[in-house]
Structure 1
Amino acid sequence: MTISQDIENYHSLILNGTPFIDVRAPIEFSVGHLPTSHNFPILFDDERVAVGTCYKQQGREKAIALGHRLVSGDNRRDKITAWQDFYENHPDAVIYCARGGMRSKLSQSWLQEIGIELPRVHLGYKGLRNYLLSILEDVGNHPMLIVSGDTGTGKTELLQNFDVTIDLEGLANHHGSAFGKNITNQPTQATFENALAVNCIQKNHLPIWLLEDESRNIGKVHLPESLHSAMALAPVVVVEEPLEHRLQRISQLYFSEMVEKYRQAYGEILGWEKYQDYLKQGLFVLRKRLGLGRYTVLQQILDDALVEQFTAGTIDRHLDWLVILLTEYYDPMYQYQLNRKKERVIFRGDYPSICEFIKNYSPTL
């Protein structure tokens, strides 16, 4: 293996889950990266700005000289050590920078000095990104089955039982509703698209993809038009569960589990405050659709429920506003949307029945 080796087979890299050493600056990494990439920047954000400014004002040679000065001595040794440690744990690692240019070549040369020959990605992150975008343009050609159902019917849990699932909400780190926000932030649009494309590549051999019925937006990220359009034409199965089962499922997720997640992340006091804000903000987002009168009523019930949850540790009072929200807002909205796709519905049933149907389902080609 030579230092100049470039890997151009993006498909193989992604299909094999290749671990990447991403030597771009943290700000570049934060805008978009791949699921198996790890950021070991050769230049930090301020250093990258300084080199870029030097390049514009004094030319390429001066900029290169400045870069070498910034990354020297202990700084250089620390970076090489970090790359070496990663390589020893991931001997199949591949390196890349923004366009497969100077930063990745320099990293390769430093590693070569200590006996490590590491290939780099041809055209770097840009090459990988363009390839993944081309994959997303064609995803609509794969057979799909859409799982639909009222809020709280357990669609997300159901999908987790099947290897053919493309977990859109998991990739988006959002539950897809006004209360869908998680403790951790959502990925950027580019990172979401990258992860989605990787998932599609790795599951392309499967006969169908199983997806949850989603709107175009999942929180702050949106589905590629090619996928969203294909989902709008795919056959649909509908999970039907009694209201009491749905209330139990939602209560467990949003009232019992979520408060514990906030407390574990932020501590008892701040965690409780953030949990309250989470529920109140979720309801506030819906105020225009609910109407001011109904929103005000639900807001007061929510406030009372939070007081009871804090003082007595019980969540039963939350059901008073949750029932209204489901029966007067979410369920009618779902029925309206389902009526628009009724010609595509091929099966209805409870949770176990839907699981059994999916196990035996074969797409019509």
Structure 2
Amino acid sequence: MAAKDKDRIVPLERMDEFDAIIDARSPAEFLEDHIPGAINLPVLDDTERRIIGTIYKQRSAFEARRLGAAWVAKNLARHLQERLQQYPPSWRPLVYCWRGGQRSGAFVTWLRMIGWSAAQLAGGYKTYRRWVLERLAELPAHFSWRVIAGPTGSGKTRVLQALELRGHQVLDLEALARHRGSILGAWPGGEAQPTQKAFDTALVAALRRFDPFRPVFVEAESKRIGLVQLPEVLHEAMRLAPMIVLDTPQECRLQLLLEDYGWLGDEPAALARRLERFKGFVPNETLRRWQELALRRDLATLFAELIARHYDPLYRRSLARHPELVQAPRVRLTGLDTAALEAACGEIEAWGSASELLPRPSSAAASARPP
């Protein structure tokens, strides 16, 4: 390959050399997932891409390329007149599309003709996605995990946040998934969960920031959080990791649920419909009562019954399947105020230095920093 070609088409490992990353794919492709920090400057919008694809398959490749070239030229002209006006001659952008083909190639050709030292990502997003999956298959084994467990409403997320404020490494899977994992765990405000691909990308970004020579605290989670799924390697590492169980008084648990889920009471009818998801888990009579409580906005009674009649029985059944939860050290969380959280963190730190919380061989930190 000539030196000029090497400057124009670069591998993934050189991505950090550039001033900006441009995603030339359609808005829908970008929304599904993209390289962190990339800006979306599509050479074909969603409708144009669909039309070109149809012409290519049903009529002729030549006709599709001819029409596509006209639309690409139109869209590139708009980007040059709008989003790209601000950049100096020294600006160095890296452009990618799905496979590093015609869309990013056309974009780079125009940018280089203007005078910018633009380059094309070899293999495009497809290569990046393969790299993400490879990292997910090997990164979790580099870390020493500490799992915070406990029944619903015991304050696991609050404790993780307090540990992070004290300088500890924390992986907040629910924040990445934008879901709390339970039947009513949707994020406030109707915010949608990321796609599986976007969740994977965010997870790799989080893992790569961790120091493998320090423990990482994480909340006990099932393999699925709402609509997204944890990588098998990470879930297994968490399953084998030392565990600490929070012991939180009932009144504190109810207070936490009212604080974290109180927004559900803003739309009583919508909450009543959400409760339909418990159908089959509780008797129909119980479900009707809960829906009546929702319509009356009596969240305190509703959440107390959810704890007593669904979540705690579910947790007790999990204890039977996971005896390590019974044997794990317990930390008392006496409240949700700063002093109570600090006290719980102090106990966790003390347990964390104890021999019974040392990682098992299968989840021990690797001797080298992960890539």
| TM score, norm. by length of structure 2 | 0.80
Displacement of 1:111 in angstroms is 1.8
Secondary structure of the corresponding residue to residue 193 of structure 2 = coil
| Native 8 Å contact 1:80 1:110 kept in 2 | no
Q: Please list, as runs of the form range in 1=range in 2, the aligned pairs for 1:3-152 lying within 5 A after superposition.
A: 4-10=7-13, 13=15, 20-57=21-58, 59-73=60-74, 75-84=75-84, 93-141=93-141, 142-152=143-153
Q: Please list, as runs of the form range in 1=range in 2, the aligned pairs for 1:272-287 lying within 5 A after superposition.
A: 272=266, 275-287=267-279
1:176 paired to 2:158: no
Displacement of 1:7 in angstroms is 3.2
Secondary structure of the corresponding residue to residue 237 of structure 1 = strand
Go from structure 1 to structure 2 and tell me whether the alpha carbon gap of 1:341 and 1:19 turns closer, same or farther (over 3 Å shift): farther
Note the aligned Cα RMSD (angstroms).
2.8
Paired AA for residue 131 in structure 1: W
Measured against aligned partners, the alpha-carbon deviations of 1:12-39 in whole angstroms (never above 9, x if no partner) come to 748x998532111122223332342332
Displacement of 1:63 in angstroms is 3.0
Measured against aligned partners, the alpha-carbon deviations of 1:82-131 in whole angstroms (never above 9, x if no partner) come to 5525867x967532100111111211122223332223322110001000
In the alignment, what sits opposite 1:264? Answer: none
Displacement of 1:280 in angstroms is 1.9
Go from structure 1 to structure 2 and tell me whether the alpha carbon gap of 1:303 and 1:48 turns closer, same or farther (over 3 Å shift): same
Displacement of 1:148 in angstroms is 0.9
In the alignment, what sits opposite 1:324? Answer: 305
| Native 8 Å contact 2:96 2:120 kept in 1 | yes
In the alignment, what sits opposite 2:345? Answer: 355
In the alignment, what sits opposite 1:343? Answer: 324
The answer for unaligned runs of 5 or more in structure 2 is: 334-340, 365-371
Which range moved further: 325-334 or 137-146? 137-146
Paired AA for residue 178 in structure 1: I
In the alignment, what sits opposite 1:263? Answer: none
1:304 paired to 2:284: no
Identity of aligned residues (%): 31
In the alignment, what sits opposite 1:160? Answer: 161
Secondary structure of the corresponding residue to residue 178 of structure 1 = coil
Secondary structure of the corresponding residue to residue 214 of structure 1 = coil
In the alignment, what sits opposite 1:308? Answer: none
Go from structure 1 to structure 2 and tell me whether the alpha carbon gap of 1:236 and 1:102 turns closer, same or farther (over 3 Å shift): same
In the alignment, what sits opposite 1:268? Answer: none
Match of 2:233 among 205, 210, 226: 226
Paired AA for residue 44 in structure 1: D
Separation in structure 2 between the aligned mates of residue 348 and residue 18 of structure 1, nearest angstrom? 49
Paired AA for residue 356 in structure 1: G
Secondary structure of the corresponding residue to residue 56 of structure 2 = helix
The count of aligned residue pairs is: 335
Separation in structure 1 between the aligned mates of residue 80 and residue 307 of structure 2, nearest angstrom? 56
| Native 8 Å contact 1:301 1:318 kept in 2 | yes
Go from structure 1 to structure 2 and tell me whether the alpha carbon gap of 1:164 and 1:96 turns closer, same or farther (over 3 Å shift): same
Go from structure 1 to structure 2 and tell me whether the alpha carbon gap of 1:203 and 1:61 turns closer, same or farther (over 3 Å shift): farther
Measured against aligned partners, the alpha-carbon deviations of 1:229-248 in whole angstroms (never above 9, x if no partner) come to 22222111111111111111
Go from structure 1 to structure 2 and tell me whether the alpha carbon gap of 1:6 and 1:72 turns closer, same or farther (over 3 Å shift): closer
Measured against aligned partners, the alpha-carbon deviations of 1:266-320 in whole angstroms (never above 9, x if no partner) come to xxxxxx5xx3344223321112111212112222222222xxxxxxxxxxx3211
Secondary structure of the corresponding residue to residue 329 of structure 2 = strand
Secondary structure of the corresponding residue to residue 281 of structure 2 = helix
Go from structure 1 to structure 2 and tell me whether the alpha carbon gap of 1:76 and 1:91 turns closer, same or farther (over 3 Å shift): closer
Paired AA for residue 283 in structure 1: L
Paired AA for residue 281 in structure 1: R
Separation in structure 2 between the aligned mates of residue 94 and residue 135 of structure 1, nearest angstrom? 22
Separation in structure 1 between the aligned mates of residue 135 and residue 60 of structure 2, nearest angstrom? 38
Displacement of 1:342 in angstroms is 3.5
1:240 paired to 2:234: no
Measured against aligned partners, the alpha-carbon deviations of 1:319-340 in whole angstroms (never above 9, x if no partner) come to 1121111012101211221343
